């Protein structure tokens, strides 16, 4: 990569201004001043400094999905020292962070990336990305409750957006539901289920838009495919 491009990518200055810095002899590569504009650097190996500070390498954008087990928090650092989802991706070198949140007691699909633009796209309610959950609940909702759930319930003095809910199976006064919401309020699914009188016993997220957890094992992660990344960016 050309030195001026490296500097611009790292956010030091514009490409033009970076060229000036090089010409002025302000940039060192591996300890030696470089004033030639065509100079190439290898971002993985060469140490570039400006004003004697290391210019950190521009990070590639990376995208992962994790099947989050229950018991892990989605924050990057936990003040109570609980296990965080990043402990499960410790071999990833880039500084990634979770896209949105899942409660510690919720399992399933979590995306992680270092791409802030994509995080914004997926988490902002105005983009209405559908998130689907499988919920085991105590009790079996009747038609009236299902209608209330779909039309919106008052949580935090504000009505929830339209949601989808379907009974997948029932047994011994418990039900397994498929629930799809487009918002991401705190403990939203749990609070919506409680509001119709059927509290959640177990909750798992299985999809975000078209991105599906499928058979990824609990605690395992994988990189997203090119087409999954392309799809998310098109949202
Ligand atoms: N809704 C919840 O109640 N919890 C989650 O973790 C996600 C959605």
Per DSSP, the three-state class of 140 is: coil
| Cα-to-centroid distance, 20 and ligand 1 (Å) | 51
DSSP 158-204: EEPPP-EEEEEEEETTEEEEEEEES---TTHHHHHHHHTT--EEEEE
In the chain, pLDDT over 90 holds for what percent of residues?
A: 74
Higher per-residue pLDDT: 220 or 11: 220
CATH number for 3-55 (one of 3.30.420.10, 1.10.8.420, 3.50.30.30, 3.10.290.10): it is 3.10.290.10
Percent over 70 (pLDDT), the chain: 100
Instruction: Using alpha carbons, list the distances in angstroms from residue 205 to 81, 101, 105, 135, 186.
Output: 24, 11, 11, 9, 15
Residue of the CA atom closest to atom 7 of ligand 1: 102
What are the residue ranges spanned by the domains of the chain? 3-55, 63-226
Distance 99 CA to ligand 1 centre (A): 13
Kindly state the tokens that stand for 114: 């270092």
Q: Can you give the pLDDT at residue 95?
A: 85
Distance (Å) from CA 46 to ligand 1 centroid? 44
Any ligand 1 atom below 6 A from CB of 131: no
Active-site residue, selected from the candidate residues 52, 60, 87, 103: 103
pLDDT confidence band for 74 (50 / 70 / 90): very high
The verdict on pTM exceeding 0.85 is no
Q: Tokens at residue 15, please?
A: 């490409």
- Whether the predicted pLDDT of 124 surpasses 90: no
- Per-residue pLDDT tens for 138-195? 999 999 999 999 999 999 899 999 999 999 999 999 999 999 999 989 999 999 999 9
Please determine, for residue 82, whether its predicted confidence score (pLDDT) is greater than 90. no
**CB-CB contact of 50 with 20 (8 Å):** no
Domain covering 63-226 in this structure, CATH number: 3.30.2350.10
pLDDT above 90: residue 79: no
pLDDT per position as a tens digit, 27-68: 999 999 999 998 999 887 899 999 989 997 767 899 999 999
**How high is the mean pLDDT of the chain?**
93
Active site residue 103: yes
pLDDT of residue 60: 80
19 lines ligand 1 (CB under 6 A): no
Strands 174-181 and 53-54: unpaired
Is 105's pLDDT higher than 90? yes
Mean pLDDT, residues 84-111:
94
Residue 111: closest CA among 124, 97, 128, 90: 97
């Amino acid at each position: 990569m050309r030195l001026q491009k490296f500097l611009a990518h790292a956010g030091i200055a514009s490409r033009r201004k970076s060229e000036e810095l090089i010409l002025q002899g302000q940039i060192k590569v591996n300890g030696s001043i470089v004033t030639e504009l065509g100079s190439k650097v290898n971002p993985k190996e060469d140490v570039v400094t400006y004003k004697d500070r290391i210019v950190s390498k521009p990070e590639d954008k990376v995208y992962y999905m994790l099947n989050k087990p229950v018991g892990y928090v989605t924050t990057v650092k936990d003040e109570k020292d609980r296990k965080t989802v990043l402990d499960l991706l410790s071999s990833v070198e880039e500084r990634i962070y979770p896209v949105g949140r899942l409660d510690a007691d919720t399992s399933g699909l979590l995306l992680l990336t270092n791409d802030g633009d994509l995080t914004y796209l997926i988490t902002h309610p105005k983009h209405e990305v559908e998130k689907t959950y499988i919920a085991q609940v105590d009790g079996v909702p009747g038609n009236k409750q299902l209608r209330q759930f779909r039309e919106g319930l008052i949580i935090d003095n504000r009505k929830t957006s339209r949601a989808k809910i379907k009974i997948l199976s029932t047994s011994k006064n418990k039900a397994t539901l498929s629930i799809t919401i487009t918002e991401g309020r705190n403990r939203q699914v749990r609070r919506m289920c409680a509001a119709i009188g059927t509290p959640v016993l177990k909750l798992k997220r299985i999809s975000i838009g078209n991105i599906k957890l499928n058979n990824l094992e609990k605690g395992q992660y994988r990189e997203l495919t090119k087409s999954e990344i392309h799809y998310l960016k098109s949202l």
